[in-house]
Amino acid sequence: MRNKCKMMTVVITIFMMITALVGCGTSSKSVKGESFDGGNIEVFVPEGWKAFHGPDTFDDYEEGYDPNIVNIGKGVELEVELFSKPMVNIHYSGDKSLIMPTKEIYEDGKDLEDIKTGDYTWKGFTGVSIGYPIAILFTEFDDKQIQVSITLENGDSKISLEDEDVLAILEGIKIK
């Protein structure tokens, strides 16, 4: 009887350890939100954030917006609010070349360790741009590139690269 109790205790302990390990993983999976169709890219937008199409600065696109750019702001309702809140700007190279970002043009530029989310490994750095802390991330594949500029602090709001929402956005970038 005593051996059965010990065996049962061992089995329950192993079961609990396996259950705990299975529960671990990418925390971004638990973030609620919805997809936003940016044209050539689709992005995940967490609850409390809002996405906007990128501006068609040179009237190059029939859609009236750049299908390779999406801007996502935390706590915004109107596009103009993107400049007063933390923001994520996603830019896909599409059929054009993007200039490789460099930390030397930013104040206090520091390299980041690679960030792995979903299908991508992001390289990048942090710095300060016009007084605002930022992170610049980029990934390359099939002669294409995705660049992500993140305004980490703006107004009285802050985000970080460890935030579940930010990781979910990075993981949720899909090229069409």
Alpha-carbon separation of residue 3 from 6, 7, 10, 12, 110 (angstroms) = 5, 6, 10, 14, 58
* Structure confidence by residue, pLDDT tens digits, 113-132: 999 998 899 999 999 999 99
3-state class (DSSP) for residue 117: strand
Alpha-carbon separation of residue 131 from 5, 70, 142, 155, 163 (angstroms) = 64, 23, 35, 11, 22
Q: What is the pLDDT of residue 3?
A: 43
Of 15 and 74, which is predicted with more confidence?
Answer: 74
* Structure confidence by residue, pLDDT tens digits, 35-77: 999 999 999 999 999 999 999 998 999 999 999 999 999 999 9
Nearest to 36 by CA among 62, 81, 73: 73
34 with 172: CB under 8 angstroms?
no
For each of the domains in the chain, give its residue range(s) and CATH number, in order of start.
Answer: 31-175 (2.60.120.1690)
Beta bridge mates, 51: 72
Q: What are phi and psi of 153, to 5 degrees?
A: -145, 130
Q: What is the pLDDT of residue 28?
A: 56
Would you give the end-to-end CA distance of the chain in angstroms? 62
Using a 10 angstrom Cβ sphere, with 0-12 exposed, 13-18 middle and 19 or more buried, the burial of residue 30 is: exposed
Confidence of residue 24 (pLDDT cuts 50, 70, 90): very low
Average pLDDT, the chain: 86
